[in-house]
Amino acid sequence: MLTVAVDEFRSGYPKYVALLSTHTSFHNFRAFKRLRLRLLLAKQDEISVLEKQLDEIDAAENRELFLGCMRRDANVDRQSTLLKIKLSMSEYDDMIAQYRGTTSLPNASGREVQNLQNWIDATSSLDRSESSYLQHKYDLVNIASSGDTSTAYTEAAVEECVYWIEVLLTRVFPGIRIGRLRVTRDDDILLLSPLLQKICRAITITMVTLIILAPTIVLLSIASPVGRVIASIISGAFFLSIISFLTQAKTIEVFAAGASYAAVLVVFTAPR
């Protein structure tokens, strides 16, 4: 049981880490975007200074041979500056790659962040100053998320429904839990059970299927060619809007999906 696995650890970081390990939705950390940008600007300026130094060394060079043949270049200052530029550029490239990797991570779910904050407030397991990172909600990213936002929306909706059903039923049956797992004994953090998670995925797939197939059924019931064309345009726009909203697809990927969907709709708009 999850409860036993978490509660067997001592209060503090041992128990908090055990809690975080129960579900990937709790793997939320600060991205430090502001600081990363500050360091990038500092490194960029450092390289700009080195670039200016190299230009000045080249401008002051008295021997044309050194400028035209790197193998015979004996200017120690230029070689030292180039080495510094090489190291700084390597660090600069790594920082850019790390920043892009961090910013591509999905934002942390407000619901799960609040769950963690509620647990910390209830248990007092962490010092307030060290748990304050959860207050930076616009700088928190989930490092383990699959990025499947469509399923995340469905799970959030199901969790909300389960919560209110439990609120109503607990008035008659205190302590009842419907399809959710209690993580620890001394808090109220609850996770969807594996069964409910599968149900959420089934709901998502069913909704996607309806979004794709429903317009074709509508087109079959429209006799007017103009009406079918208008319905196809509306269906295509709705389909692409849903893709853009529920996924992290790039513009070219959305365009490709739209082209494929339009090809299917053309069959139903052809004169009968």
Q: Which of 32-41, 229-238, 258-267 has the lowest mean pLDDT?
A: 258-267
Q: Which two tokens stand for residue 205?
A: 């797939």
Contact status, residue 85 vs residue 51, Cβ threshold 8 Å: yes
Band (34; pLDDT cuts 50, 70, 90): very high
C-alpha–C-alpha distance, residues 49 and 43, integer Å:
10
Residue 140: strand pairing partners: 30
CA distances in angstroms from 76 to 32, 59, 66, 95, listed in the order given: 39, 15, 11, 29
More confident: 269 or 232: 232
The pLDDT confidence band at residue 147, using thresholds 50, 70 and 90, is: low
pLDDT for 1 beyond 50: no
The tokens for 67 are: 């400028």
pTM of the predicted structure, to 2 decimals: 0.68
Q: What residue spans of the chain are helical by DSSP H?
A: 2-7, 13-20, 33-59, 64-68, 76-103, 110-123, 149-169, 194-220, 225-246, 251-269
**Of residues 214 and 268, more confidently modeled:** 214
Residue type for 162, please?
V
User: CA-CA-CA-CA torsion for 125, 130, 134, 139, nearest 10 degrees?
Assistant: -160
- For residue range 92-133, list pLDDT tens digits in order: 999 999 999 999 888 888 878 888 888 888 888 888 899 999
Q: What are the DSSP calls for 100-147, one per residue?
A: HHHHTSPBPPHHHHHHHHHHHHHH--S-TTTSGGGG-GGGEEESS---
Gap between the Cα atoms of 236 and 221, Å rounded = 17
Confidence (pLDDT) at 23: 80
Residues 33 and 21 sit within 8 Å (Cβ to Cβ): no
What is residue 27's DSSP assignment? -
* pLDDT value at residue 25: 82
| Residue 134 pLDDT greater than 90, yes or no | yes
**Looking at the predicted structure, is the pLDDT value of residue 65 above 90?**
no
Ramachandran area for residue 263 (φ above 0: left; ψ -120 to 50: alpha; else beta): alpha
For residue 182, the SS3 value is strand
State how far Cα 95 lies from the chain centre. Answer: 19
- 191: nearest Cα among 226, 151, 159: 159
